[in-house]
Structure 1
């Protein structure tokens, strides 16, 4: 089984918590960390912009990425939200098993 961390940023705590709670409740993520006060510098509509954002680190299974992405898109307040994933190449077996257990709907066990 393959595992990933999905990165997503947003500009307010309410949207970050909505995304995090929804993904965990729907078993699309085992855990979502919300890291406040990151400083993002990017180009938007031909302007250099600097904003304070919150970063979500979403731990899930690779096979769920499309569902996670689509659910984030349905909840996010940005026109083009950051939704990218990186593979978890290694980790403690017990933690990876925990991700699996908490991203599997009961009727799928």
Structure 2
């Protein structure tokens, strides 16, 4: 049985590892995220302006809570290099209680 929690993953694509690292450092430094994980290289396939695109991107996953997410999203959008950045809020339904407590404690 899963339990609803107050925690979320912010799934953010970036143009490269450097941008992902800069955004992660900013979010953690400002106590908007407890932790960031960076997947340095992935291939993204999508349409932009009706043209098929195949681009290398990086993936940034930030761990946060419901009180921090709105400002995190706002500031990531402001700092992001993309015109329309991918920022998705993914609920964490359950997890290690001690780890979730650490997330909360890190966001104070």
Q: Give the TM interval when normalised to the shorter protein.
A: over 0.9
Give the gaps of 5 or more residues in structure 1: 105-109
Q: Give the Cα–Cα distance (whole angstroms) in 1 for the partners of residues 59 and 18 of structure 2.
A: 13
In the aligned structure 1, how far is the partner of 2:35 from the partner of 2:17?
17
Q: Which residue of 1 aligns with 2:77?
A: 73
* Structure with the higher fraction of residues in helix conformation: 1
* Structure 2 residues without counterparts, runs of 5 or longer: none
* Superposed CA offset, 1:36-69 (max 9, x none): 1111101100011011100001100022211010
TM-score by length of 1: 0.91
Q: Return the TM-score normalized by structure 2.
A: 0.92
Asked whether the 8 Å contact 1:6–1:58 carries over to 2, the reply is yes
What is the deviation of 1:13?
2.1
**SS of the residue 1:43 aligns to:** strand
**How is 1:22-101 mapped onto 2 (pairs within 5 angstroms)?**
22-101=26-105
Number of residue pairs matched by the alignment: 104
Cα distance in 2 for partners of 1:75, 1:22 equals 10
Runs of 4+ in structure 1 over 4 Å off: none
Q: How large is the RMSD of aligned CA atoms in angstroms?
A: 0.9
CA contact (8 A) 2:17 2:41 kept: no
SS of the aligned residue for 1:27 comes to coil
